Amino acid sequence: MDYALQQLLNALAFGAEYSLVALGLAVVFSIMGLVNFAHGEIIGVSAYSVFLAAALGLTSPIVAVLLAVAAAALAAVTFERVAFRPVRYAPTTTGLLTAFGVSIVVQNLFMLLISPKPQSVSILNGLNQMWFFGPFAVSSLQVMELVVSGLTILALVLFLNKSTLGLAIRAASRDFATVRLMGIRANRVIATAFAISGALAGIAAVFILARRGSVSPDLGFGLVLKAFVACVIGGFGSLAGAAAGGMLLGFIEVGLLVALPQEYGGFKDALTYVIIVALLVYRPEGLLGQRVELGDKEI
Amino acid sequence: MSENAEIIAARPSGAATGVGNGRFGRSLVGGLVTALPVVVIGFAILAFAPAYYTHLALAAFVNLIVVVGLQVFMGNSNIANLGHSAFVGIGAYGVAVLSTPLAMKQLSIPNAPFGLALVELNPLVAALLALCVVAIIAAISGKIISRLSGVAATIVSLALLIIVHSVFLNWTDLFKGNQAFFGIPKVINLPAMLVASVVVIVIARLFKDSRWGLQLRASAQSPQAAAAFGIDARRLRLVAWVLSALICGLAGVLFAYFAGTISPKLFYFQQIFMTLAMLILGGMATVTGAVTGVIVLSIGLEFIRSIESGVTIAGIQLPQLLGLSGVALGVVIVLCMAFRPGGISGRLELDEQLSRLFRRNAR
Amino acid sequence: MLTVENLSVRYGAVAAVRDLSLEIGRGELVALLGPNGAGKSSTINALTGLVTPTAGRIIFDGKDISRTRTEDRIRGGLTSTPEGRHIFANLTVGENLRLGAATRRDPKGVRADTDRFLTLFPVLSERYTQAAGTLSGGEQQMLAISRSLMSRPKLLLLDEPSLGLAPRIVAQIFDFIGQLKTEGLTLLVVEQNATQALRFADRVYVVSSGALRYDGPPAKLADEHGLLNLYLGG
């Protein structure tokens, strides 16, 4: 029972992390059709910012957390302004490849300007402790991940449903031109979406740093690939789909970890992807996606 | 050709569409013209360059074949493929496992499953078998990918890459995992690589100008119109995917046969970044673009790599700048997409550009 | 209030609008009529800035807005209800109206306006929390126009308000448009359906193939039998 509970918690925690990252991707994709491959590097910028701040003498974990989120949001908005704006109205493939290019540049800049080797970051280690509730030992980090993710998603939902800018973002996912006809500035809508996307990534970065205690140039890359896959199984472009896909991915991964015998552990990633692809075969539009036929009328 | 003209020309109405010897011949000539710069460079290297450059050239030619393979799918279907290195790897490891001499195998993979440790095939046979494996995996993955929308297809191609890489890395009994798989017979030299490059370029051109290629491009541009004409976009994407995979697999086979040693990380993101940048810079839409991109970036990267490893300028020793080539590659992609999405060669093949030039001068 | 000088819009090789000039005075309702493909929607899109003209000037409320961004034109008081309505299908009726008022800073006024439209169109009130995509065509049109009016524009461009709607609903919509005119709003109504558009028009422009064919009072248009037969449906 103990073991099962622990694994459930694992699955939830990983799922929450994937959901956060996947949501960040989905927010941007839903309004601009941009597949932001550079999202992982936003996580990287966030993590390296904490590393640099710690190297410069920062000791407060709280400030580190705030810095991580702020740096990520800033990085996201900057990427948009510098690299994505010129290709804003270009076809999806162009945007995707641009983002891929940005990802390559930034990863290599980390290698060039800091170091290709992992750097230790211990400032957030305090978040990763064991808490004891009677006979149960629980990782504080996992509990925090769940709570924070839940609150963040709640905040996001509130923002998207109650604030004008949030409504504008939702409207823009269907009809950007008409949003402009309301007098709402396109740049503001897009910058806000990217800032949200960045903030979500920053929160994920905090958890990753707390768990790993180190940062490396490819920190975000592998995670973002999985997040993309989560978006796709959830139904690309749908925010709920991204969150659901992320959770599902967490459960699949932990499930595989539990089910696979030790010597095949290395295949966990490959098998995860195989399962995802199988899901896609069964349901190409994703779990929560809608099958769009050519020529469908907009509902 | 205007978009509608292309679709009408591509209609599957049998012999009347003009798929006659005329078009095939023109395409063949076009392919040879496109391959001409490659041949010229190849001969120049054979005749004049020292041994060090021969090795570089071989690597560049492998890239060339990979990029041409990538172009076959991406240029015609307009879908970003980020997993082609998987097929390069399958081709390479296929021949590695099948044709490495038994003595070597006893050392590297004594516990290989299916009795493969006791198998040593003639390089040509091994190559053909490896390509068969490539074809099978391409057919399966292609069936899945051709059903998906552009973005989902791209991400599944990534998934394929990661799955294949993971298998190479973790199935140590067969693939030696992280360690280099050495001892592959080195049976390919520059002339053979040159011939292979030309053949691949011509095939790519033939496909692009064929009815299939035209129909695929038409359906990429306007899916509804193409479907109304009865064009089966899915099947065409599958064909392009498998052809692309086979070409990439061939590149892997040739690479293994000239390098003699391979390891999984050669067929992972480094290669994806580089070949993608080459194709984008040269121009996705044409085979000429693939060729151009490879030539330009191969030379450019060599230059940057020499700076990367620390060069001495005017007596000052510059430090190692690891990652500089990566930054350069990324910047190339970003700038290209922003300012010249069509790449250097745009929409016209080399022979088409030349004939335009001649026509203009003739007036 | 609005002066358009020598407007030209091209899409690649196709000239959608050719050297069009028109004027709308304060408080007028001007009709822009013409058959399908005449360039009417292109004109409206050029006026709101969603499309960049290849030539010409647009002067609104005394200011040259030819290079102003769409969002700023809207904030300046010029807005349009696009062809096909373009309500935000995934948002509720209420949320659509709220976005229409996005540029306003007076919550009391916004509430008053919202109540006004909900009273005027009871069906919007009934469906206030429903997704706008589930409304019928006529209801969507009422919503779209209300939404445009939420920003209290000085000039409203209506692009084919009758498109795809049953005649009875069209009459209702135009009743409403007439009422807007009596309240002093300046309007440009673009239509294929001439009959309704001519009910309240002070002046009429007729375009076809991107060029102006007639400019004058609606009464005189009835005399131009050639025009009526060739260019205008009913």
Task: Work out the mean pLDDT of chain C and round it to a whole number.
Answer: 87
Of A217, C129, A30, C131, which Cα lies nearest the Cα of B322? A217
Residues of A in contact with C74 (CB under 8 A): 180-183
Query: How far from A172 is each of A77, A128, C87, C99, CA to CA, in Å?
Result: 18, 39, 11, 11
Interatomic CA distance for residues C18 and B35, integer angstroms: 47
Q: CA–CA separation, B244 vs A44, rounded Å?
A: 34
Pick the residue from chain B with its C-alpha nearest to A266: B170
What confidence score (pLDDT) does residue B313 get? 63
Rounded to the nearest 10 degrees, the angle between the axes of helix A140-162 and helix A164-172 is: 90
Q: What's the Cα-to-Cα distance from B269 to each of A78, A109, B165, B213, rounded to whole Å? A: 25, 16, 10, 28
Which residues of chain A make contact with B341, given a CB cutoff of 8 A? Answer: 87, 90, 94
Does residue B358 register a pLDDT over 80?
A: yes
| Alpha-carbon gap: A159 to the closest alpha carbon of chain C (Å) | 13
Q: Write down the pLDDT at residue B13.
A: 47
Which among C81, B337, C69, B335 has a CA at the least distance from the CA of A187?
C69
Subunits in contact with chain C (3 or more CB pairs closer than 8 Å) = A
Length of chain B: 363
Q: Contacts of residue B78 in chain A, CB cutoff 8 Å?
A: 91, 93
> How high is the mean pLDDT in each 10-residue block of chain A (299 residues)?
81 92 92 89 94 88 92 95 89 87 91 88 80 76 90 93 92 89 92 95 93 88 87 83 91 88 80 85 76 48
> What 3-state DSSP class applies to A140?
helix
| Cα–Cα dist C70/A92, whole Å | 24
Distance from CA of residue A220 to its chain's centroid?
9
State yes or no: pLDDT of B11 exceeds 70: no
Contact C224, C52 (CB under 8 A): no
Q: How does residue B14 score in pLDDT terms, banded at 50, 70 and 90?
A: very low
Tell me what pLDDT residue A173 has. Answer: 85
Identify the pLDDT of residue C200: 83
- Reply yes or no on whether the pLDDT at C234 is more than 60: no
Q: Say whether pLDDT at B88 is over 90.
A: yes
> pLDDT, tens digit, for every residue of B90-120?
999 999 988 888 888 877 777 778 877 777 8
Cβ of B36 under 8 Å from any chain A Cβ? no
Q: Which residues have C-beta within 8 Å of that of residue B298, sequence separation ≥ 6?
A: B56, B60, B63, B278
Backbone angles phi, psi at C60, to 5 degrees: -120, 125
The neighbour count for residue B224, using CB atoms within 10 Å, is 10
B330/A35 touch (CB, cutoff 8 Å), yes or no? no
DSSP-assigned beta bridge partners for residue C7: C20
Q: What are phi and psi of A203, to 5 degrees?
A: -60, -45
What is the ipTM, given to two decimal places?
0.88
> Do C99 and A186 make contact, defined as CB atoms within 8 angstroms?
no
Cβ neighbours around C62 below 10 Å, total: 7
Residues 6+ apart with CB under 8 A from B348: B286, B288, B356
| Facing residue for A177 by CB, picked from C50, C98, C147 | C50
Q: What pTM, to 2 d.p., does this model score?
A: 0.86
Q: In this predicted model, what pLDDT tens digit does every residue of B189-233 receive, in sequence order?
A: 888 999 999 999 999 999 999 999 999 998 888 888 888 888 888
C3 φ, ψ (degrees, to nearest 5): -125, 125
pLDDT tens-digit readout, C31-59: 888 887 778 888 899 999 988 889 899 99
pLDDT at C227 (0 to 100):
62
Residue C71, pLDDT above cutoff 50: yes
Of A210, A239, A232, which Cα lies nearest the Cα of A283? Answer: A232
Interface of A with C (CB under 8 A): 164, 167-168, 170-171, 173-175, 177-186, 298-299
pLDDT at C155: 93
Shortest Cα distance, chain A CAs vs residue C78, angstroms: 10
The Cβ of residue A283 has, within 10 Å, a number of other Cβ atoms equal to 13
Beta bridge partners of A131: A138
pLDDT on residue A16: 92
Number of H helices, E strands in chain A: 11, 4
Quote the DSSP letter at residue C36. Answer: T
Amino acid present at A94: T
The 10 Å Cβ neighbour count of residue A21 is 30
Looking at the complex, report in whole angstroms how far the Cα of residue A68 sits from the nearest Cα belonging to chain B.
24
Report which of A66, A75, A74 is spatially closest to residue A206, judged by C-alpha positions: A66
Closest CA to B62 of B151, B188, B219, B149: B188
Three-state secondary structure string covering B248-303: HHHHHHHHHHHHCCECHHHHCHHHHHHHHHHHHHHCCCCHHHHHHHHHHHHHHHHH
The predicted-structure confidence for B159-168, as pLDDT tens digits, reads as follows 899 999 999 9
| B192: contact with A, CB 8 A cutoff | no
Digit-coded pLDDT (tens) for C95-144: 999 999 999 999 999 999 999 999 988 889 999 999 998 998 889 999 99
Considering Cα of A10, then A11, then A16, then A17, what sign does the dihedral take? positive
Q: Which amino acid would we find at residue C68?
A: T
Distance in Å, alpha carbon of A157 to nearest chain C alpha carbon: 14
Least confident of A163-167, B132-136, B317-321, C19-23: B317-321
> Could A90 and B324 be called an inter-chain contact, meaning their C-beta atoms sit closer than 8 Å?
no
Answer whether A290 touches B (CB < 8 Å).
Answer: no
CA dist., res. C110 & res. B124, Å (int): 78
Give the type of residue at A176. F
Residues of A in contact with C80 (CB under 8 A): 181
- Asked which of B56-60, B102-106, B264-268, B325-329 is least confident by mean pLDDT, the reply is B102-106
Number of H helices, E strands in chain B: 16, 2
For tokens 């690939």, name the residue: A225
Query: What proportion of chain B, given as a percentage, has pLDDT over 90?
Result: 37
pLDDT tops 60 at residue B4: no
Question: A236, B151: Cβ pair inside 8 Å?
Answer: yes
Average pLDDT value over all residues in chain B = 85
- Single-letter amino acid, residue C177: I
Q: Does B266 touch chain A (CB under 8 A)?
A: no
- Best of C99, C150, C156 to substitute, by most chain A Cβ atoms within 10 angstroms, is C99
Tell me phi and psi for residue B288, to 5 degrees: -55, -40
CB contact under 8 A, A100 and B82: yes
Query: Would you state the structure tokens that stand for residue A168, as one six-digit string?
Result: 């504008």
Long-range pairs for C11-19: beta carbons < 8 A, 24 or more residues apart: C11/C42, C15/C210, C16/C42, C16/C210, C17/C42, C17/C43, C17/C46, C17/C53, C17/C207, C17/C210, C18/C209, C18/C210, C18/C211, C19/C55, C19/C56, C19/C211
Provide the token pair at C233.
């449906």
Interface touch A228/B158, C-beta < 8 Å: yes
B31: amino acid identity, one letter: G
B275-322: pLDDT as tens digits = 999 999 999 999 999 999 999 999 888 888 877 776 666 666 666 667
What integer is the mean pLDDT of C192-212?
Answer: 82
- Taken in order C39, C41, C46, C47, the sign of the CA dihedral is positive
| pLDDT at residue B311 in the model | 64
pLDDT at C222: 66
In this predicted structure, what is the pLDDT of residue A298?
38
